[in-house]
Homo-oligomer: A and B are copies of this chain.
Amino acid sequence: MPPRHEHQDIEQRIVRAADEIIRADGVKKLTMRRLAEEAGVALKTPYNVFGSKTGVLIALLNGAIAPLMEDIDRKGGHLVVDDLFAMLESTKQIFGADEDFFRGVFWEVMTSDHPEARAVAHGRITQVVIDRVAAAQAADEIVPEVAAAALGGQLGLNLLANMGSWAGGHLTIDGAMDHTKAVWASLLVGAVTPDVSGAVSNHLGTIQGVLGTSVE
């Protein structure tokens, strides 16, 4: 078969094939040989384009979470801290619609040795949360004594952690986000200004209910 030279198209064909295989048979059935075959390329081509199997999965994941990222960027609430909790709802929504798919891909990426993968996940998630916390502080919703990077880092780490438990199969995505919400609320109540503490406390009430059902 001659080279295709359809430029970017080859990238798409590979990612699309990976997507289809995973949705059809699960991430464990995604082998590089099958991927190459179904994408109609040589075994080596995905390596040329994405560097490794994990590289393909990162590209796939980045594409798949685009709607989530868009959702997260659309800051809508009248309180900035509400946007923090809205992030968790968006995640629930988007990942929940295809839970097995996302869980599989997420797990593969998260447990890979890929130099980018975990750093990107860690850094990106943490950064989004830190930015939100800083924004909340700028909007006088969080008291100035708190270090935004420190608090945001804690929240981000907790989110990532719960995502890990979800990816590992210990929690549903709903359970993971509810856990996160409860811990975030607990950590935030001590940091917010009096006029928003009511809004934050709203998210707090369900800690006990949450855990009863979601932990195995």
Contact = CB atoms under 8 A, between A and B. Distances in A.
Nearest to A145: B208
B179 A211 contact: no
A111 interface: yes
Measured as residues with beta carbon below 8 angstroms from the partner, the interface class of chain A is 35 or more
Best-surrounded residue of A119, A161, A179 (most CB of chain B within 10 A)? A161
Nearest to A214: B153
A95 B204 CA distance: 34
Contacts of A164: 161, 164
B158 A183 contact: yes
A153 B186 contact: no
Contact of A187 (B110, B169, B186): B186
A170 interface: yes
A133 B165 CA distance: 21
A188 to B, nearest CB: 10
A182 B161 CA distance: 15
Interface of A: 110-111, 118-119, 122-123, 126, 146-147, 149-151, 153-154, 157-158, 160-162, 164-165, 168-170, 179, 182-183, 186-187, 190, 207-208, 210-212, 215-216
Given A118-B169, A147-B208, A149-B211, 15 more contacts: A111-B111, A118-B168, A119-B216, A122-B168, A123-B216, A126-B215, A150-B210, A151-B211, A154-B179, A154-B182, A157-B179, A157-B215, A160-B161, A186-B186, A186-B190
